Chain A
Amino acid sequence: MGDIAFHYSYIMIIILLVIGLYGMLGKRNLIKKIIGLNIFQTAIFLFFIEGGLKDGGTVPVIDPALGTEAAIYFNPLPHVMILTAIVVSVATTGVAMALLLTIYRNYTSLEEDIILERMGK
């Protein structure tokens, strides 16, 4: 039990993942789905950065006073991967907003069941 409490950040990441998934799949308003997608992706970014932490480390820029041993600097590779993933997230949100504009202009509603009804399913 002490082990799980020590890794409290992973528990928060799981909670955020589940909130994001529920928002994407359980809510009927389309904007809430996009917000759920953003929360889901943010949780994944937190997971990556959490994994790159080291006990007692410092930022990954070589400091002449501390030497060049690799064990005292944080792992910079997850940070670089997350930069790219953030760009993908921003682009996806931009495309989703543009799609929502088109849907609103055609159906004047942003609730999924009303849109499906007006589409004639």
Chain B
Amino acid sequence: MIERYDSIIVDITCRIMVPFIQLFGMYVIFHGHYSPGGGFQGGVLLASSMILHRLSLGYKESYLKLPPARASVLGTGGMFLFILTALTPIFFGGVFLDYGFLPIPGLEPAELRYYGILIAEIWIGIAVFGCLVVIFDRLTERRLD
């Protein structure tokens, strides 16, 4: 378990930096399909913001913000929703991963593919975020023996 780092400068700075890192992570996810970035890179940035939170503020406060069990559910759930999004076109006439047949009304197939890639990147970003936070928690937990 990581104890709280005993310095007020670190405390205030990290509290300010965490939301900005998360904002940058979301920027990288949302711009992944036509500039460098994407689901995996943005997910790593989001996870690094959470790891900074855990390292600087200690486990007592950080586990209230994001309990380890919830991170595990985020990781698994994100992947599950991605598979569901990829399977949806099968029921509407396309093949697996063919975003042109997603059932969003009022868009042409080319635009549907554009937004389909974006939705897939969001789920992958959430999944990577959850998985990396789970890895960090497992590596730093205290064994009760």
Please name all residues of chain B whose beta carbon is closer than 8 Å to the beta carbon of A87 when the two chains form the complex. Answer: 40
B38 at the binding interface (Cβ < 8 Å): yes
Say yes or no: A97 contacts B139, CB within 8 Å. yes
B35 at the binding interface (Cβ < 8 Å): yes
Could you tell me which B residues sit within 8 Å of A by CB distance? 34-35, 38, 40, 135, 138-139, 143
How many contacting A-B pairs (Cβ < 8 A)? 13
Taking CB atoms and an 8 Å cut-off, the chain A residues in 42-101 that contact chain B are 61, 83, 86-87, 94, 97-98, 101
Say yes or no: B38 contacts A101, CB within 8 Å. no
**Which of A61, A97, A105 lies in contact with B35, CB distance below 8 A?**
A61
Task: Pick 12 A–B contacts, CB within 8 A, sort by A.
Answer: A61-B34, A61-B35, A83-B38, A83-B40, A86-B40, A87-B40, A94-B135, A97-B139, A98-B138, A98-B139, A101-B139, A105-B143
In the bound complex, how far is the Cα of B139 from the Cα of A95, in angstroms? 10
In the bound complex, how far is the Cα of B38 from the Cα of A98, in angstroms? 27
- Chain A nearest CB, measured from B41 CB (Å): 8
Could you tell me which A residues sit within 8 Å of B by CB distance? 61, 83, 86-87, 94, 97-98, 101, 105
Please name all residues of chain A whose beta carbon is closer than 8 Å to the beta carbon of B34 when the two chains form the complex. Answer: 61
Please name all residues of chain B whose beta carbon is closer than 8 Å to the beta carbon of A105 when the two chains form the complex. Answer: 143
Please name all residues of chain A whose beta carbon is closer than 8 Å to the beta carbon of B135 when the two chains form the complex. Answer: 94, 98
Please name all residues of chain B whose beta carbon is closer than 8 Å to the beta carbon of A61 when the two chains form the complex. Answer: 34-35
In the bound complex, how far is the Cα of B135 from the Cα of A94, in angstroms? 7
- Chain B nearest CB, measured from A49 CB (Å): 13
- Chain B nearest CB, measured from A17 CB (Å): 25
In the bound complex, how far is the Cα of B141 from the Cα of A89, in angstroms? 23
